[in-house]
A = this chain, B = another copy of it.
Amino acid sequence: MSHPRVAHVGIAVTDLDAATEAYRALLGHPEHDRETVEEQGVEVVHFEAGDAMLELLQPTRPDSPVGRFLQKRGEGIHHVAVWVDDLRAELARLGALGVTLIDKVPRVGAGGHLVAFVHPRSTRGVLVELTEKRKDPAP
């Protein structure tokens, strides 16, 4: 049996520098890292917050998923990510239960981890990211 664990909370922002300042103030400590994930069209800042992270997301182009979210909803929480042990097995389990998946096969996300998204229609309006840790340690 899998034990999904909250990995991070993704927050869509229009100004990553200003947002980073705001979360430094809120959490009382500096960010963990900053990276660009071209495939998803986002620049990302992570803050540690216990076992989970807060992930600030600024779109690198307006037609990216986060860019479209900002145009429609404005800044705010975009998704919640949970760690799973075996992403392929989880996608098979959820598919068999009739859960609507955005990604039927895993792809590579921030930090080089495998990711797949569950459609909000199966999770009461919440965009859920399932993620499996990369096997090789980050360089």
Residues of A within 8 A of B (CB): 1-6, 9, 11-13, 18-19, 22-23, 25-29, 49-52, 54, 56, 73-77, 80, 82-83, 93-94, 97, 99, 118, 120, 122-126, 128
Contact = CB atoms under 8 A, between A and B. Distances in A.
Contact of A75 (B18, B51, B54, B125): B125
A6 B77 contact: no
A39 to B, nearest CB: 24
Contacts of A123: 22-23, 26
- Within the oligomer, what is the number of copies of this chain? 2
19 contacts: A4-B50, A5-B51, A6-B52, A6-B54, A9-B77, A9-B80, A11-B124, A18-B124, A19-B124, A22-B122, A25-B122, A26-B99, A52-B52, A54-B80, A56-B124, A74-B125, A75-B126, A76-B120, A77-B77
